[in-house]
Structure 1
Amino acid sequence: MTDSAEHNIDQRPDGRFFLGSLKAAAKGLSPAYFAMVMATGIVSIAAGAMGMPRIAMALFWLNIGVYLVLWLLSVLRAVWFTRQFFDDMLDHQRGPGFFTTIAGSCVLGSQFILISGNYQAAFVLWVVGAVLWVGLNYTIFTAFTVKEIKPPLDQGITGAWLLAVVAPQSIAALSALLAAHWGQPHKLEFNFIALSMWLWGGMLYIWMMALIFYRYTFFRFLPSDLAPPYWINMGAMAISTLAGSLLVANAADAPYLQSLLPFIKGFTVFYWATGTWWIPMLVVLGVWRHVYKRFPLKYDPLYWGAVFPLGMYAASTLQMERAMNLPFLKFIPQYFLYLALLAWLAAFAGLLHTLARQILVRARK
């Protein structure tokens, strides 16, 4: 830091500087920033399931802090920048990012169960996720339906729309984890909620993916169009696989799940196979974007939406292998966990670098 920057900080009241920084952080907060909670949570869960308890616990505590900070900034943004906040919610490109609040809450809830065994906190987060899902689902899609001025398909839809699939699937997964712990009748009720949300998420994926694939293949596609949330194409299928595998594991405790077991197993493998198909495609498109087209690679909060699918693919493949006794898939989760850890570290380093640079810029003003 230069002497002049240090002088500026010394001359500025600490409270005023802090408040200004807080307002700047709240104003610039991306609606999709809770994807960081999703990514950190699922990497923690996968690490815990694969015998890395220290990494899992460290990421768990970090994720609690990240979750609370993001909620604080989100509330402040809604209060201080109300119009911008709700304009984002009604925007075709930025609006779906709000679904990360649902998935982030439920993934953290799953962490509380699998990492610390705290079912009370997990249930509170389940309630938060369910309330947010009802509110955001019908607010955003109703607004998209009735608004008079709408963008054309190639400018309005992105992979971020599939966060609307990830949200109910995260509720399904957390519901199944809660159901496995509780006694009757709540066991039956929460397994039914899990089944219903799993089916709804699958139907929504089919609807949205048809539009996204159409946009891919029949409209001009620029490197700038291939934003990181397109990895949710795979991540939505990975979390659908995880939720389906948990339903398979719970089938013995719910007669209606037992009767649907072949269907659930078949669609779970269908989801896993679809997600697997997307991986080479997304890698090729990433090489085309950054190598062939030389699109600059720099930190963007949307990159957390690319870390999440890698961790979720590791966790979901492991859960499916255990639920369906598929030992020949055992080698996959470990490799993808290492990829997810590397991607998480890269995104976290980018976040720290960006924060440090923003602090220096504000200090020099």
Structure 2
Amino acid sequence: MPGTPAPHSLRAWWAQRPPAAGAAVMATGIVSVGLHLAGYEVLSRIALAVACAAWLALAADFAVRLVRWPRRWRQEAVTPGALTAVAATTVLGTRFSALGWQTLAAALLALSALLWPGLLYAVVRHWHRGMPGAVFLGCVATQGLAVLGATLAAADTSAWLAHAALVLFWLGLVLYAVALGRFDLRQVTEGPGDHWVAGGALAISALAGSKLIAADSPRLYLWNVDADDVLHTVTGGLLALDLAWYAVLLAAEFARPRTGYDVRRWATVFPLGMTAAATLSVAAALDVSWLEGPGEVLLWVAVAVWLVVAVGAVRAFRAYTGEGAGGAGLTSTARR
């Protein structure tokens, strides 16, 4: 059929997909979470359906590469982008839990927990100085587990799960501090998109803190007064630091625009959506109602950027498969 890419073109395009493409699932999933928190349930479920379709495709590809090309799989497993598999799965699990599908959310938590230690160990072993923003994915994946664990703990009144999530929360902060020492600060003005994860990791940390606070109840009595005060203080501080990173990164984008499409731009959408979701969640957990307005503004910024990046992805795909010249000027440096 005219205008339809040949099957071999589709396979070739998919085969050169980098592990960091999982950020597209993370970005779409957290936009769904944010829309749910803001009360836009129909839009949230549409975004969730898109994220689920992408997750299933990437999960199938993950399994196929492991079986058919184990050497390539091992090479990709040591790159920071491999941790998007864990982070994306926890984001979807968190959204499913909000729908009341606790069994499915628990299954995704178990899958994430199974993947997390091996991938984290493999990735951290290859950390070095001068790394791009993807270095913060160690923190993101760990805090993703904390978010989902705390969410399920609240839903199932499970104290042990909440305490496990608390351990992961503090571990995630340690991983952030270590990653910060290996982050190349020049990426702020030069990065192709994943440099935004420097802020997004703080956003998901703040979200994890808010979920841990929300998980406490008279029935569970998870934290004493001192521990609760520490969680409130740290969570508020993390959100403030995230918003500071947001302002710095946004200013850098205006000072030095990077308008060409790159698959790592999905790693820009994720922090934008995560900052919105964290702001809305912290507003509820800390009872700071004035944060709700800014949180919703940040949410629509994330939705708008999601749409722009999605259009860029479609145009890049059409240019790759030779469907038209409309995307010929777009490049993906991830293939270089």
Structures share fold, TM-score greater than 0.5: yes
Residue 344, structure 1, aligned to residue 306, structure 2 = yes
Matching of residues 291-302 of structure 1 within 5 Å: 295=258, 297-302=259-264
Within 1, Cα distance between the matches of 2:36 and 2:191? 32
Distance of 1:25 and 1:79 partners within structure 2: 20
Q: 1:96 aligns with which of 60, 80, 94?
A: 80
Contact 1:237 1:272 in 2 (8 A): yes
Q: Structure 1's 309 and 53: CA in aligned 2 closer, same or farther, altered over 3 A?
A: same
- 2:161 corresponds, among 181, 185, 190, to 190
Question: Which residue of the other structure, out of 146, 157, 163, is the alignment partner of 2:137?
Answer: 163
Task: Measure the CA separation in 1 of the matches of 2:10 and 2:307.
Answer: 25
1:1-365 to 2 correspondence within 5 Å?
A: 17-18=6-7, 20-21=8-9, 23-90=11-78, 95-114=79-98, 116-142=99-125, 144=126, 153-154=129-130, 157-183=131-157, 187-212=158-183, 215-216=184-185, 221=186, 225-252=190-217, 253-259=219-225, 260-290=227-257, 295=258, 297-360=259-322
CA contact (8 A) 1:198 1:243 kept: yes
Structure of higher CA gyration radius: 1
Contact kept in structure 1, 2:188 and 2:195, CA below 8 Å: no
Alignment check: 8 A CA contact 1:26 1:73 kept: no
Aligned residue-pair number: 322
Identity among equivalent positions (%) equals 29
The answer (yes or no) to whether the contact 2:139–2:172 under 8 Å persists in 1 is yes
Contact 1:191–1:254 (Cα < 8 Å) also in 2? no
Q: In 2, distance between residues paired with 1:223 and 1:107? A: 25
Q: CA offsets per residue over residues 36-88 of structure 1, 9 Å max, x none?
A: 11111111111111121110011111111110011122333344444333223
3-state SS of the aligned residue for 1:360? coil
Distance in 2, matches of 1:35 and 1:48, equals: 20
**Counterpart secondary structure, 1:298:** coil
AA in 2 matched with 1:345: L
2:20 is paired with a residue whose SS is coil
Change (3 A) 1:356 1:135: same
- 8 Å CA contact retained: 1:159, 1:229: yes
Whether contact under 8 Å (2:188, 2:249) holds in the other structure is: no
Inter-partner Cα distance in structure 1 for 2:271 and 2:24: 12
Equivalents in 1 of 2:106, 2:37: separation in Å?
A: 21
CA distance in 1 between partners of 2:12 and 2:121 (Å): 30
**1:172 corresponds to which letter in structure 2?**
A
Q: Provide closer, same or farther for how the CA distance between residues 178 and 226 of structure 1 changes in structure 2, counting only shifts above 3 A.
A: same
Gap runs ≥5 in structure 2: 325-336
Instruction: Say if 2:13 and 2:320, in contact at 8 Å, map to a contact too.
Output: no
For 1:223 and 1:304, how far apart are their aligned partners in 2?
A: 16
Which one-letter code corresponds to 1:181 in the other structure? A
Q: CA deviation at 1:225?
A: 3.8
The alpha-carbon deviation at position 223 of structure 1 amounts to 8.5
One-letter code of the match for 2:45?
Answer: M
8 Å CA contact 2:13, 2:317 repeated in 1: no
Counterpart residue number, 1:13: none
Q: Deviations over 1:11-52 (max 9, x none)?
A: xxxxxx53x345423421111111111111111111111121
User: In the alignment, what sits opposite 1:148?
Assistant: none
Hey, what's the Cα distance between the residues in 1 that align with 2:12 and 2:179? 34
What CA RMSD, in Å, does the superposition of the two structures yield over aligned residues? 2.3
In the alignment, the residues of structure 2 paired with residue 22 and residue 76 of structure 1 have an alpha-carbon distance, to the nearest angstrom, of 16
- Following the alignment from structure 1 to structure 2, what is the Cα–Cα distance between the partners of residues 226 and 35? 15
CA distance in 1, matches of 2:77, 2:110: 21
Alpha-carbon contact 1:27-1:81 (below 8 Å) kept? no
How many Å apart are 1:224 and its aligned residue? 8.1
| Contact preservation (8 Å) 1:35, 1:104 | yes
